[in-house]
Amino acid sequence: MKSNWERIPVSKVLFEPGAAPVRISQERHSLKPFLKIKCTIVNYDKIFEANRKHWDQRVAVHFKSDFYNVEGFKKGQSSLTEIERDELGDVAGKTLLHLQCHFGQDTLSWARKGAIVTGVDFSPKAIATAKKLSGELDIPASFIEANVYDLPDLLDEQFDIVFTSFGSIVWLPDLARWAAVVAGFLKPGGNFYIAEFHPTLYLFDFETGKVSYDYFNAGVYKENIERTYTGSDETMVGEEFFWNHDLSEVISSLLKEGLQLVEFKEFPFSPYKCFPNMEEKGPGRYVWAKPGHELPHVYSLKMVRPFS
């Protein structure tokens, strides 16, 4: 995570269409106590639009980056990591809905393994790129441009698998609503799977090693964008807004929708070198070395929608 942020914690739940009452905090690196500066209204539609704009910017940068290695992907390499590939297992012949799919590499990697795939992302440039990549490589796939929360209005289908991974739910404010979307798209007996960065890791400023963020969902964080996580020197301009979600919030929201927990795992490494000060400890295994202690970097959940 980067510096130069504002925190906008929700003081109480008084949701109006597209808005919620919030307070703006002081700057990140101050050692003074939390300061209430003013009360304002945050419009979530505007927040989603700001995030959409910066993800649109990222598509072209990511597509040509070594991080995503599109040329290798075109030659047949899979973009899936050992975590989700091993844990989700055989997907051949199964329908799979990929939420927040970016420009579709993982979606198409599941298709190469035999899944019948549908990818969803709110970035029009990401979806356009995914469709182009699907056509160029002759990999059958459907892609839909949509905010996750709006997807039930655009798609009337249920799937054997609903899948999402790595850096997805931080862009969503309301996990109860997200869990309802997940459950609604699962067939009875279908599996939901998520591999995601651990909320303990998200506590830290990766440059200083200091605890600088809340573990629990205290509200939305706002940061200025300078560069993306792929290591590119290409400058980006804009703002991003995100939310931290503790493990109990994630799991409880899914349980309340009637899903049953099949498996929960934590991993002491990240499959991506996407944060500052990370060291490679083995092929495809990176560790944030700053704290000098072993920390959970990733967690995964597999859940099932029961038949009754």
At 274-287, the pLDDT tens digits run 888 899 999 999 99
Enclosing H/E stretch for 21: strand 19-23
Mean pLDDT of 50-59: 91
The residue with greater pLDDT, 114 or 229, is: 114
- pLDDT band at residue 308, thresholds of 50, 70 and 90? confident
- What is residue 23's predicted lDDT score, i.e. its pLDDT? 30
Mean pLDDT of 6-27: 34
Q: Is the pLDDT of residue 178 over 60?
A: yes
* CATH architecture assignment, domain 5-304: 3-Layer(aba) Sandwich (3.40)
CA–CA separation, 22 and 283 (whole Å): 44
> Domain map of the chain by residue range?
5-304
The residue with greater pLDDT, 205 or 29, is: 205
- What is residue 289's predicted lDDT score, i.e. its pLDDT? 81
Output the average pLDDT for the chain: 85
- What is residue 184's predicted lDDT score, i.e. its pLDDT? 98
Q: What pLDDT, in 10s, does the model give residues 221-265? A: 988 877 666 666 666 677 889 999 999 999 999 999 999 999 999
- What is residue 240's predicted lDDT score, i.e. its pLDDT? 87
Residues 6+ apart with CB under 8 A from 256: 176, 179
State the burial class of residue 186 (Cβ atoms within 10 Å of its Cβ: 0-12, 13-18, 19+): buried
Dihedral angle sign, alpha carbons of residues 74, 80, 86, 88? negative
- What is residue 8's predicted lDDT score, i.e. its pLDDT? 41
- What is residue 262's predicted lDDT score, i.e. its pLDDT? 98
- What is residue 235's predicted lDDT score, i.e. its pLDDT? 63
- Gap between the terminal Cα atoms of the chain: 42
Strand partners, 301: 194, 264
- What is residue 225's predicted lDDT score, i.e. its pLDDT? 75
- What is residue 41's predicted lDDT score, i.e. its pLDDT? 53
Contact 161, 190 (CB under 8 A): yes
